[in-house]
């Protein structure tokens, strides 16, 4: 009988290499899509925080509101004898606009 030479082959075959590259490509596509989503959400959150800070500054200074409407708040309170007491606070509603974000604030009359 003839002896067969045993060949010691090392490395990957072409198909194994192609499959490995395909798997790596799929993982990279998913990772990049996730990164874009996370960075987009972070940018939106930063813009909202900046708008919040500017609106807080506008409210603190009492300027920058675009509209003012007369309004009143009414509360009904009952005492221990179930007698109703109506409390009415006159004021106005100030509307602050900044970057597509709107905030309504009730300001009582002094």
CB 88 within 8 A of CB 78: no
The pLDDT value recorded for residue 28 is 93
The pLDDT value recorded for residue 2 is 62
Taking the chain (110 residues) in consecutive chunks of 10 residues, what is each chunk's mean pLDDT?
66 87 94 86 82 78 75 89 90 80 82
Distance of alpha carbon 38 from the chain centroid: 11
pTM score: 0.43
In the chain, how long is the greatest CA-to-CA distance? 116
């Amino acid at each position: 009988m003839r002896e067969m030479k045993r060949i010691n082959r090392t490395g990957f075959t072409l198909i194994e290499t192609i499959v490995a590259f395909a798997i790596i490509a799929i993982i990279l596509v998913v990772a990049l899509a996730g990164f874009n989503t996370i960075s987009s959400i972070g940018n939106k959150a930063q813009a909202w925080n900046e708008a919040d800070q500017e609106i807080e500054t506008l409210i603190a200074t009492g300027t920058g509101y675009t509209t003012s409407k007369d309004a009143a708040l009414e509360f009904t309170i009952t005492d221990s004898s179930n007698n109703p007491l109506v409390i009415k606070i006159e004021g106005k509603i100030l509307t602050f606009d900044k970057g597509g974000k709107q905030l309504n604030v009730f300001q009582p009359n002094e």
